[in-house]
Amino acid sequence: MARVELRKVHDYLWEIPKSGEMNVPGRIYADRASIEFLIAEEKSKEWDALLQVRNVACLPGIQKASLAMADIHPGYGFPIGGVGAFDLDTGVVTIAGVGFDINCGVRAMAVGLTREEVEKRKEDLAEALFRIVPAGIGSTGSLRLTMEEIDEVLLRGAPFVIERGYESADDLAYVEEGGAVEGADPSCVSALAKQRELKQIGTLGSGNHYLEVQYVDAVYDEQAASAYGLSVGTVVVSIHTGSRALGHQIGTDYQSVLRRASEKYKIPVREAELVAAPIKSPEGKRYISAVMAGINCAFANRQAIAHLVRKAFKGVFGAGGGDIRTVYEVGHNNLKFERHTVDGVEKELLVHRKGATRAFGPGSLGIPDRYRAVGQPVLVGGTMGTSSYILVGTEKGMAETFGSAVHGAGRRMSRKQALREYRGDTIIAALEARGVIVRVHSTQGLAEEAPGAYKDVENVVAIMEGALVSRRVVRLRPMVCVKG
């Protein structure tokens, strides 16, 4: 197996020097311990993550560097935590940089109740959320759509479901892109994808998707926290989900399209999933339009779930329990047209973020007016029942990472190993002993998502802060966790 050469840039940044067929260097945000974990055994699976960084660096039109955030681990073609930005004329779009869960992301909402008020009723709240928010395999939502209406969802995203009663419109100013991107074309999405989605708007999914009720237990950046309306004790609800079956189907539908395009346009395929098409080719344009539709679907999905969360809170706490505002919503499996500076020239690029979150710094357009002076909130989910973080983007991050940050802790243990080491019922008991109420549709799924199966989110966040490309604002601790 080919070795990957690494050199240390500073304590929190390592580089794969540009060589051979690489068009740019690879850059990995990591400390020494996490780099040593990645290269510990020559035949270890973790070698693949570094090879993937290098393979992405070989893609045509890639700008500056093939990047990996601190939660790097092996993905499909792209590493998880991978960021690649491409010139629109010379660059490519790759399915590996988006994945199957298009616009998987997080919405964080602040609740107008005290932590003490929620603690007293958290068992009831857990039951209400578990009952009201559909989750798990085969779950269906309350919004039933026709094939014509699903096209509206793909074009209009969150605003469509708000018009159907899934309030509220006030959320949209704090949702990335206002809850809908341009460029979606439902005709580029298969009928099968739409059929699968007809009953899935407003469902959580399973695996690492979750709904958590949390509280702020630490503030690191007073100015940013104040801008976001957060302080110690603020109750927050975090929703982690994506585009559901529609996103999955778009991914599978376009695998063969982009495989053929790679051959047609002579783009070397260095790993089976790292297939691509020139951005301006017919195949590239169709895939991008389909992804934009998937992005809008995820926005609609999280808006619908947000409404159900409000309903659950009102059911438990009365009318006052529904005073819930969106702090921010942002995706971490995405394709975005963004303007960035490369070699002193500002240009529009197509940015892939695969398990990496957009993290725009202060002064950036495209973030809410109220946050512009401090920068965009970055929502980082911790492992189940452990800490989560809200970070903020920085100017250095804009310069070095196209305004990107981590999305979570990253796995360090396979699911099979997690099943050997952990049991769902034991995890539930351990969390409840710490005051975290868990409701789950699959205890096996819970074992696979055991906190011990993931890297330490504290370390991952600290690496990015050490590199000055993002900064902690608040830490969140869980009170209730609902999983599929």
Partner 1 sequence: MAARPGVECAPRYAKVRMSYRGHETVDHTADMGIRGWGQTPAEAFEEVAAAMFELMVNAAGLAPSRTIRISREGSDLVELLLEYLNGLLSEADVAGIVPFKVSVGALEEREKKWIIEATAEGAPAAGAPGRLLVEVKAATYYGASVRERKRGMWIAQCVVDL
Which residues contact partner 1 (rule: CB under 8 A)? 1, 45-46, 48, 51, 73-77, 80, 99-101, 136-140, 192, 195-196, 205-207, 245, 248-249, 251-252, 255-256, 259, 271-273, 411-417, 441-442, 444-445, 448, 484
> Do residues 93 and 431 touch, judged by C-beta distance below 8 A?
no
Backbone phi, then psi, for 135, in 5-degree steps?
-150, 160
Minimum distance from residue 2 beta carbon to partner 1 (Å): 12
Nearer to partner 1 by Cβ, of 168 and 190: the residue is: 190
Nearer to partner 1 by Cβ, of 409 and 437: the residue is: 409
CA–CA separation, 475 and 390 (whole Å): 7
Minimum distance from residue 199 beta carbon to partner 1 (Å): 8
Q: State whether residue 208 is helix, strand or coil.
A: coil
Minimum distance from residue 271 beta carbon to partner 1 (Å): 5
Nearer to partner 1 by Cβ, of 100 and 328: the residue is: 100
Contacts with 334 (C-beta within 8 Å, 6 or more apart), sequence order? 98, 102, 103, 105, 295, 351, 352, 353, 358
Minimum distance from residue 83 beta carbon to partner 1 (Å): 18
Q: Which of 449, 457, 458 is nearest to 481 (CA)?
A: 449
Residue 87 in tokens? 């010139």
DSSP one-letter string for 384-404: TTS-EEEEEE-HHHHHHHSSE
Q: Which of 209, 248, 407, 441 is catalytic?
A: 407
Nearer to partner 1 by Cβ, of 99 and 157: the residue is: 99
Nearer to partner 1 by Cβ, of 231 and 414: the residue is: 414
407 carries an active-site annotation: yes
CA–CA separation, 310 and 322 (whole Å): 5
Q: State whether residue 252 is helix, strand or coil.
A: helix
Nearer to partner 1 by Cβ, of 45 and 339: the residue is: 45
CA–CA separation, 24 and 92 (whole Å): 14
Minimum distance from residue 375 beta carbon to partner 1 (Å): 29
- The DSSP bridge partners found for residue 390 are 379, 474
Per DSSP, the chain holds a count of helices (H) and strands (E) of 15, 19
Q: Which of 55, 179, 9 is nearest to 107 (CA)?
A: 179
Minimum distance from residue 248 beta carbon to partner 1 (Å): 5
Strand ranges across the sheet with 80-87: 7-10, 13-16, 26-29, 66-73, 80-87, 345-354, 333-342
Active site residues per annotation: 407
